[in-house]
Structure 1
Amino acid sequence: MKKIVVLSGAGISAESGIPTFRASDGLWENHRIEDVATPEAWERNPTLVQNFYNERRKQALSVQPNAGHLALVKLEEKYDVTIITQNVDNLHEKAGSSTVIHLHGELSKSRSCVDETLIYDIEGWEIKAEERCEKGSPLRPHIVWFGEAVPMMDIAASVTQEADIFIVVGTSLNVYPAAGLIFAVQKGVPIYVVDPYSPEIQKRANITFIAEPATIGLTQLADQLMR
């Protein structure tokens, strides 16, 4: 069975109603990134950061996967599919995808502030201020903030090297280290880039651009690959 590896970004979630991470004005839901998505922000104002992610979690629970997510699930009928996502929502899982690697963490989980291996599923949408891990530390969102290491990166790079087909969807390929995964694709492997804005990437052989949003482009691509 051939292996498809997918790198997904905010564009695919946007079509389900989740605002993209960074708007053109540099704000995320009217907040400066530096105020809600860095370790320093957490140290400075944990209540603001916790409330921000609680609201994002509530928002994510209210939306559903779109045709793009479902097209990737369809591919599992013929291929071994691994999705590497920059998104922190669980729309890929909700759609039914079997193997999802979250590079930037998961909104539906919390973790200890003193032991990053202590990770917990969140019931509902809220991490309450009084909640603690088993070591007595407050719980923080299980999100990789700016300035933090990306622990799943090595695994993602290893999986990418195994790809027989590589698909990029809904990402500008401007956020590193995730954007660097395209350079881990083995020479000769076909790459499909699904994005209405066709992100600029280093020219190489075997790249096909599909200048459509995920709902249209992935549906078309899945139909083609399933023949």
Structure 2
Amino acid sequence: MTGHPTNLFVLTGAGVSAESGLGTFRDRGGIWARFDPMKLATPEAYAADADTVLDFYDHRRRGVVAAEPNAAHRALARAEAWIAARGGRLFLCTQNVDDLHERAGSRAVTHMHGELLKARCCACGSVTPWRADLSRTDRCPACFTLGRMRPDVVWFGEMPMHLDAIEAALAEANLFVAVGTSGAVYPAAGYVRQARALGIPTCEVNLEPSDNAAAFDDARYGPASAVLPRYLAELGL
């Protein structure tokens, strides 16, 4: 594309946080290669064995709290500020449940798969910031129900969050960029084809080609912390 993007849609996946020490999911050696998601990341697993599910997410939550944003997170925060100062918008849609984008300085982050540092009450539906371990001895701060708190993340079989807002932002974009995504998880993996159908230029920034790499107009490959800042600089951001 020519000129600066005024409405940039960025989709991020686990690869953008991998260099901060957080594991990816579908890569060789990723989380779902080592653990059975059907036993740890479904409503049925939680109903059958809440303690095991909560322990798994406690471990992941501690990892998120200990992690630090990397240069890719910071580059997106700078680009958001640059575009906003000129009357445009960077819509940051992430599949990640960590808060590294926010800690890097991004002000508006749409978490389509939820947030690990929040807990949701299965009794009343209220969502509460939650950085500590989560157990069945915890009460909901809103309704005081005992033992019904779960991570506020999207499990297999559940609907991703904020889909209407994501679709609306994609329709308004003049550049679509996917960073660190596997291209295997829908509906996120389908956004590149939606963008192309709308005539929006697309680019993949990834360590290696994703499952849907052929759908992109352009690509930059290598570690996100090095490749993404360089690509955004090419765009003048």
Do both share a fold (TM > 0.5)? yes
* Cα deviation 1:192-215 (Å, max 9, x = unaligned): 1101212243756x7111012211
> How far off is 1:219 after superposition?
1.0
| 2:120 paired residue among 105, 108, 111 | 111
Count of residues in correspondence between the two structures: 224
Q: Distance in 1 between matches of 2:77 and 2:50?
A: 37
**Aligned residue runs from structure 1 range 177-192, under 5 A:** 177-185=187-195, 187-192=198-203
Query: CA 1:191 to 1:121, structure 2 compared with 1: closer, same or farther past 3 Å?
Result: same
Would you say 1:57 and 2:68 are equivalent positions?
no
More helix by share: 2
Structure 2 CA distance for partners of 1:27 and 1:59, relative to 1, 3 Å:
closer
**Matched AA of 2:235:** L
Partner residue in 2 for 1:158: 168
Structure 1 counterpart SS, 2:26: coil
SS at match of 2:168: helix
Q: CA deviation at 1:164?
A: 1.4
For the 8 Å contact 1:88–1:102, the answer to whether it is kept is yes
Which 4+ runs in 1 deviate beyond 3 A?
Answer: 25-30
Aligned partners of 2:95 and 2:111 also within 8 Å:
yes
Aligned to 2:10: 6
2:97 to 79, 88, 96: 88
Secondary structure of residue in 1 paired with 2:80? helix
Return 93-102 or 186-195, whichever deviates more.
186-195
Deviations 1:174-226 (A, max 9, x none): 1011111223326332211101212243756x711101221111111111112
In the aligned structure 1, how far is the partner of 2:184 from the partner of 2:102? 25
Task: Give the structure 2 partner of residue 207 of structure 1.
Answer: 217
Listed as ranges, the gaps of 5+ residues in structure 1 are: none
| Partner residue, 1:22 | 26
Scaled by the length of structure 1, the TM-score of the pair is 0.91
Give the equivalent residue in structure 2 for 1:216.
Answer: 226
- Cα distance in 2 between the residues matched to 1:200 and 1:50: 31
Q: Secondary structure at the match of 1:197?
A: coil
**Residue in 1 aligned with 2:86?**
none
Cα 1:78–1:15 shift into 2, 3 Å: same
2:182 to 169, 172, 190: 172
Whether the 8 Å CA contact 2:23–2:30 is kept in 1: the answer is: no
Identity of aligned residues (%): 37
Secondary structure of 2:157's aligned partner: coil
Q: Of residues 137, 148, 156 in structure 2, which corresponds to 1:146?
A: 156
CA contact 2:13–2:181 (8 Å) conserved in 1: yes
Note the residue ranges of structure 2 that are not aligned, 5 or more in a row.
Answer: 84-88
